[in-house]
Amino acid sequence: DGGITQSPKYLFRKEGQNVTLSCEQNLNHDAMYWYRQDPGQGLRLIYYSQIVNDFQKGDIAEGYSVSREKKESFPLTVTSAQKNPTAFYLCASSSDGKTGAFFGQGTRLTVV
């Protein structure tokens, strides 16, 4: 089945730790995105990538890093510099943006 897979579904992090969220797609989409969703805040763009080995910062990139070494994969690292990382993280992909972005199931990150 074609789709976007995020893992893990739930993640707990101790303060001061870096964690990496996985996102894999087999839709052959060029564009991939990472969003953060907080209650009442809507979706906020962290990073996006239009092609392999290229990515751009979104509105709230501070404290996050990404890589795009393969077309299928766009992992997100939440670093210790991110002061308020507890949130619902959504990865999405799109062929060209015009027909819409498709989301993975999301990763719920909690700092303990």
Taking the C-alpha atoms of residue 95 and residue 77, their distance in angstroms, rounded to an integer, is: 24
Which of 31, 52, 60, 61 touches another protein by CB under 8 A? 31
CB 64 within 8 A of CB 79: yes
Binding map of another protein across residues 36-75, x = CB under 8 A, - = no contact: ----xxxx-x--x-x-------x-----------------
Other C-beta atoms within 10 Å of 21: how many?
A: 23
Q: Which helix (H) or strand (E) segment is 64 a member of?
A: strand 64-66
Which of 31, 28, 34, 18 is closest to 107 using CA atoms? 34
Window of 10-18, 67-75, 77-85, 100-108 that interacts with another protein by CB under 8 A: 100-108
Smallest gap, in angstroms, from Cβ of residue 90 to another protein?
6
Please, which residue, 17 or 38, has the CB nearer to another protein? 38
12 CB-near residues (< 8 Å, 6+ apart): 109, 110, 111, 112
Window of 10-18, 20-28, 61-69, 104-112 that interacts with another protein by CB under 8 A: 104-112
* List of residues contacting another protein (CB under 8 A): 31, 33, 35, 40-43, 45, 48, 50, 58, 90, 94, 96-106
